[in-house]
Amino acid sequence: MPHINLPEEYPGIRSLFMFSPVTALPLNNLVQTLLHDPATSTLTPGERELIAAYTSSLNECKYCSNTHGAIAKYQLGGNSTVVKDILQQDVANAAISNKLKALLHIAGRVQQSGKSVSEGDIAQAREEGATDREIHDTVLIAAAFCMFNRYVDGLATWAPADDALYDAIGKQRAAEGYMTKPFVVDHPA
Amino acid sequence: MPHIPLNEKLPGITGLLDYRKDTALPIRELTQILLRGPSTLTEGERELIAAVVSHGNECAFCTAAHTAAADVLLNDTTIAEKVKHEPEAAPVSDKMKALLAIARAVQKNGKLVTTAMADEARAHGATDMELHDTVLIAALFSLYNRYVDGLASITPSEPAFYERLAAILKDKGYLPSENRYADL
C-alpha cells in the first residue's frame, strides 16, 4: 500500500502525477525532452529508453523498468529480445552497438554513484564513437532515473503484476510521448 | 577535469545546467517548486533535506552548496552540520528528524522507506504532502549528485564560493535569470 493517500486507479508514477500536478509538469517535460523528442539527442529514443530501463532494473524499480522496457520495445520496432536482455542486465550479449554497450556501462556506474564513473569508462565510450553530448545525455538519463525510481518506490506506489498492462502503456508512450493522459486501470489488475 | 568540456567559469552543477539548457529548464523548475514554492516546510528545512541527501551521496559540491543555503536561510551555521553528522542530536523538530530519516533511506533506495518510517513522521504531525515533498526532494538530489559527479564537474575548494552561491540561491531561487552567476 502506498505511504500516502494516492488515487487507486493509476499505477506507479501516474498516481504521483495525479497527487501532485504541479511537480508532474516539469517531470514530464524533462522526460519528453530527454527521452522522447527525436530531435534533442543523437541517441535514438529507443536507445535512450534502454538506458532508462536498464537503470531502473538496477534500482529494482519494477514499475519503471517494465514501463520503460515496454516503451523501448515499441521505439525499437518491437524488438522484445533486446529489451529482455537489458532488463536481465545482460548487456554483453544484447544485440546492440558497442557504443550503446559502453554507454550502458556508464549508466550502471552512475546508478551506483556518480563518483564511480572512471576516465577509463569515458575513454571506452569515446573509442566506440560516443560524443561528449551522448556521454552527457547518458549520465543525465541514468541520474534522472535514479530520481524517478526513488520517487516511485519511496512512496510505495502500486506496481501492477500484469505484463499486458505495461505493454499497453509502452505502446501508448512510444507513440504519444509523455504529455498525454494516463491509463486508468481497474485496481487491482 | 570534467569528462566533457564545460564552461570553466561555471563550476559544479552550474556548468552542466548551462551545457544543455532544454533539460536544465524543467530540472530548475522542479527545484524551484520543491525548494522555494508554497509548502508547510520552511525553505531552510527543505535545504536541510537537500544537504543530507548530498552528504549521503558524498557529493562535495552539492553538500557544500546546500549546507551554505540552509545556513543562510536558517540564520544558523550549526544546524546543517549536526543534521549531517549527528542527526539524533540535531536541534530540529521531531517531525523533521522523521522526514530526514526518510530522506536518508530514499538516498540509498526508495524501497528502504518503510511503513513504520512514514507512520513515525505522521505521528509527529507530517502531512501526506510533506511526506511526498520529502521523498521527491531526496529523489531529485539523487539526480543532481549523480549528474555533478558522473561528469566530474569542478568542485571549488574555497568556502567563500559556496557562500556566494548560497546568496544567489536565497535571493534568486533556482529559475534561470539574467546574469544569474555574475557575482559567483
Q: For position A180, what pLDDT does the model report?
A: 87
Which residue in A102, A98, A142, A144 sits closest to A122, CA to CA?
A102
Which residue in B35, B90, B80 sits closest to B55, CA to CA?
B80
CB–CB contact B136 A153 (8 Å): no
- Please write the tens of the pLDDT for every residue from A135-158: 999 999 999 999 999 999 999 999
Q: For position A76, what pLDDT does the model report?
A: 98
Whether the per-residue pLDDT at B20 is higher than 70: the answer is yes
Rounded CA separation A65/A153 (Å): 12
Whether the per-residue pLDDT at B60 is higher than 70: the answer is yes
* Rg (chain A; Cα; Å): 16
CA-nearest residue of chain B to A134? B4
pTM over 0.90: yes
Percentage of chain B lying above the pLDDT 70 cut: 100
C-alpha cell at B9: 567559469
Q: A187 pLDDT band (50/70/90 cuts)? A: low
- Please write the tens of the pLDDT for every residue from A20-64: 999 999 999 999 999 999 999 999 999 999 999 999 999 999 999
Q: For position A181, what pLDDT does the model report?
A: 82
Whether the per-residue pLDDT at B82 is higher than 70: the answer is yes
Rounded CA separation B124/B119 (Å): 9
Residue carrying C-alpha cell 553530448:
A133
Q: For position A100, what pLDDT does the model report?
A: 98
CB–CB contact A23 B136 (8 Å): yes
- How many alpha carbons lie under 13 Å from residue A178 in its C-beta half-sphere? 22
Residue carrying C-alpha cell 546508478:
A111
Q: For position A189, what pLDDT does the model report?
A: 45
Task: Specify whether the backbone of A107 is left (phi greater than 0), alpha (psi in -120 to 50) or beta.
Answer: alpha
Q: ipTM strictly over 0.95?
A: yes
Q: Mean pLDDT throughout B139-150?
A: 98
Query: What angle separates helix A163-176 from helix A62-75, to the nearest 10 degrees?
Result: 50
Coil, helix or strand at residue B65: helix
Q: Mean pLDDT throughout A105-114?
A: 98
CB–CB contact A23 B34 (8 Å): yes
CB pairs under 8 A between A and B: 146
| Torsion sign over Cα A167, A168, A171, A176 | negative
Q: What distances in angstroms separate CA A10 from CA A18, A117, A157, one per listed residue?
A: 8, 36, 9
Which residue in A117, A30, A35 sits closest to A68, CA to CA?
A35
Q: Mean pLDDT throughout B79-91?
A: 96
Give residues 19 to 48 of A whose Cβ lies within 8 Å of B.
Answer: 19-20, 22-23, 25-27, 29-30, 33-34, 40
Whether the per-residue pLDDT at A188 is higher than 60: the answer is no
Whether the per-residue pLDDT at A183 is higher than 60: the answer is yes
Q: Which amino acid is at A49?
A: E
- How many alpha carbons lie under 13 Å from residue A157 in its C-beta half-sphere? 28
- How many alpha carbons lie under 13 Å from residue A23 in its C-beta half-sphere? 29
